[in-house]
């Protein structure tokens, strides 16, 4: 069976490294690249032709075009959105 080719995109290197370590334990998954911003993501998609793009929605250079998968008509690429936000408690000083 052909492996699922995955591109990891996040502006935090530690997140990219963690996801890579987890994904590389699965023999059916091949990590084909990493990107740290929107422009690099588009370049990697064009060069590596991943089946799946794991994308941080709050990464620099992300816009609606990338949110929608930056796919041409008929493209079968899947985009998984990653996002983490600090949750603020009611009444806290910072929120």
pLDDT tens-digit profile of 40-58? 988 998 899 999 888 887 7
Q: What pLDDT sits at residue 73?
A: 46
Answer whether CATH 3.40.50.12590 is correct for domain 7-82: no
- Per residue in 5-36, pLDDT (tens digit) is 999 999 999 999 999 999 999 999 999 999 99
Does the global pTM surpass 0.85?
no
Residue 82 has pLDDT above 70, yes or no: no
Q: Name every residue whose Cβ is closer than 8 Å to that of residue 30 and which is 6 or more positions away in sequence.
A: 3, 4, 5, 6
CB atoms within 10 A of CB 16: 20
- In whole angstroms, what is the distance from residue 69 CA to residue 3 CA? 21
- In whole angstroms, what is the distance from residue 47 CA to residue 74 CA? 18
Q: What pLDDT sits at residue 78?
A: 65
The token pair that represents 12 in the structure block: 């935090």
Residue 94 has pLDDT above 90, yes or no: no
């Amino acid at each position: 069976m052909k492996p699922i080719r995955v591109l990891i995109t996040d502006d935090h290197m530690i997140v990219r490294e963690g996801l890579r370590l987890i994904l590389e334990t699965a023999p059916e998954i091949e990590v084909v690249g990493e990107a740290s911003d929107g422009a690099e993501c588009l370049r990697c998609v064009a060069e590596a032709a991943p089946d799946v793009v794991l994308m941080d929605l709050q990464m620099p250079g992300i816009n609606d075009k990338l949110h929608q998968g930056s796919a041409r008509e008929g493209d079968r690429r899947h985009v998984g959105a990653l996002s983490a936000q600090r949750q603020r408690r009611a009444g806290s000083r910072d929120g």
